[in-house]
Amino acid sequence: MSDSFLAIDFGTSNSLVGAVHQGKTLGALPLDPKSADPTMMRTLLYFPHPDLCYYGAEAIEQYIEQDMEGRLFRSFKSHLPNQNYLGTVIENRIVTLENMVGIFLLELKKRAENHLNHEVKKAVIGRPARYSMDPVADGFALHRMEKAAKMAGFTEVQFVPEPLAAAFDYRKQITQEKIVLIGDFGGGTSDFTLIRLRPENFTHDDVLAIDGCPLAGDALDSVFMSHRLNEYFGAKSRYRLPMSSNVLSMPPAVSMKLNHPAHIVHLKEKDTFEFIREVQKCSLTSKDKEAIERLFVLMEDQQIFPFFESIEKTKRGLSASAETVFSFDYPSLEIEETFTAAQFIDWAAQTKEKIFEALDRCMESAGVAAEQVDLVCLTGGTAKVPFIGGELEKRFGKEKLQTQSHFHSVLSGLVESANFWSQGQKVT
């Protein structure tokens, strides 16, 4: 019997798995029976206590059923390049980031093996073009992924850039040679590949350039917190310590964690939590004190995940209309704010600029001008944000843009990469 290979699209928000098994290529496997799309598993870990973990849709279901006790982790992939982030403590159990990723990859592996009725030791795993703009941090992130894959039980792994995988998928539509730009806009990263595609005979020289940046959907979500909503949770609270005349504001290290869906959960860690409690005691005004109390309700009543889900819903609403209302009605956290598409565009300008700087680097590295690009293929949910699509239209023309198959094109290309490997050809 020939070797079997898994193809894993391990995403910041969602994960998918395909396979090459018994000489056949298999697209997205059913991983999560509780998901609206069983082939797509939310990249979530929920620990009601240190010795039990739930995944995907069941993580959310159990989190709600168990009164939101324990720890729910989302967007943990985004910590990979951060050398200062070692992991977390759940009660008395230390869980490193490699453990978190390894636990999740192991669950994907077990569910895929159960479907195939076959043990699989080899995997092609997608990786962003860049985990970080810092080459050392980027290499560190990849090293962590290698360790996590070993923890999950894989003995051989190839890492394939996600936009290159998307290019392999789009190659199926090509009937003649074209220069194609692939833009993969996910939850954690925005990645670009310029590639010469033709129906047959891919070679490494066909990849003209790959680039990207560690900003995408989560970074766009965070602007709603950083520009407006974090004030409700003490980001601008002022305090004065005993025996001091200095008026201080909430430290940026706390505010930064508050703004990001991957980081806010770590405000619950003991030292940080106790510091915030001290700030509350020393607050200058009752308004400052109440804002920090809302932060404690957000954390202690396990409302972080639903709150950021509401922000995500608001972002999607602004993709379809000029104005939308953010509404959250949990007791003591009742918040209603109107946001406009114009505000979102303004607040997201810096993130957008960095995303398109990565595209400019990719174009420059390839020595390709916009008019030489025959086709622009977009994948990932953030590609649907109007000002992202609008900028691409302005640069390349609407007629060149293709946006179908948002979530499955990277996986399809990873399966093709696994098929190359099964035939003795390495992709990277």
Q: How many CB atoms neighbour CB 419 within 10 A?
A: 21
The answer to whether 59 touches 72, Cβ cutoff 8 Å, is yes
Domain extent for 271: 218-331
Edge-first strand order for the sheet with 71-74 is: 52-55, 44-49, 71-74
Same domain? For 89 and 127 the reply is yes
Q: For position 269, what pLDDT does the model report?
A: 80
Q: From residue 366, give the alpha-carbon distance in Å to each of 251, 363, 428.
A: 43, 5, 18
Residue 83: partners with Cβ closer than 8 Å, 6 or more residues away:
137, 140
Establish if 69 belongs to a structural domain.
yes
Same-domain check for residues 182 and 291: no
Q: Which amino acid makes up residue 234?
A: G
Per-residue model confidence (pLDDT) at position 1: 41
Q: 29 and 125, same structural domain? A: yes
Q: Give 137's DSSP letter.
A: H
Do the domain assignments include residue 61? yes
DSSP-derived letter for residue 30 is: -
Same domain? 382 vs 418: no
Q: Of 301, 331, 361, which closes a domain?
A: 331
> Which uninterrupted H or E stretch holds 332?
none
Of 148, 126, 221, give the one whose Cα is nearest residue 414: 126
Q: Is residue 71 part of a domain?
A: yes
The total of structural domains in the chain comes to 3
Check whether residue 42 and residue 158 sit in a common domain.
Answer: yes
Is residue 341 in a domain?
A: no
Full-prediction pTM beyond 0.85? no
Q: Can you tell me the distance from the alpha carbon of 223 to that of 215, in angstroms, rounded to the nearest whole number?
A: 12
68: left (phi over 0), alpha (psi -120 to 50) or beta: left
Residues 85 and 196 grouped into a single domain: no
Detail the DSSP E strand segments found in 82-189: 87-90, 93-96, 122-127, 156-161, 178-185
* pLDDT digit string (tens) for the chain, length 428 residues: 458 999 999 998 899 999 999 889 999 999 999 999 999 999 999 999 888 999 999 999 998 888 778 888 888 998 999 998 888 888 888 899 999 999 999 999 999 999 999 999 999 999 988 898 889 999 999 999 999 999 999 999 999 988 888 888 777 777 889 999 989 888 888 999 899 988 776 777 888 998 999 999 889 999 999 999 999 999 999 999 888 889 999 999 898 999 987 788 788 888 889 999 999 999 999 999 999 999 999 988 878 888 998 999 999 999 889 999 999 999 999 999 999 999 999 999 999 999 999 999 999 999 999 999 999 988 877 888 999 999 999 999 999 988 655 568 889 989 999 998 888 876 66
Write out the H or E segment, with its range, that includes residue 264. none
> Does residue 327 sit within a domain?
yes
Same domain for 81 and 210, yes or no, is no
* Three-state DSSP class for residue 67: coil
Check whether residue 158 and residue 197 sit in a common domain. Answer: no
Q: Domain check: are 233 and 201 in the same one?
A: no
CA 249 vs. chain centroid, Å, equals 30
Reduce the DSSP state of residue 326 to 3 states and report it. strand
Look-up: residue for tokens 């025959």?
374
Residue 283 DSSP one-character state: B
- Please state the φ and ψ torsions of residue 42, each to the nearest 5 degrees: -60, 135
Q: What CATH number is given to the structural domain containing 376?
A: 3.30.420.40
Phi and psi torsions of 38, nearest 5°:
-60, -15
Distance, C-alpha 39 to centroid of its chain: 17
Decide if 339 is inside a domain.
no
pLDDT score at 410: 86
Q: Do 85 and 116 share a domain, yes or no?
A: yes
**Burial environment of residue 404 by CB neighbours within 10 A (0 to 12, 13 to 18, 19 or more):** exposed
Residues 209 and 263 in one domain: no
* Structural domain contains residue 428: no
- Are residues 11 and 153 located together in one domain of the fold? yes
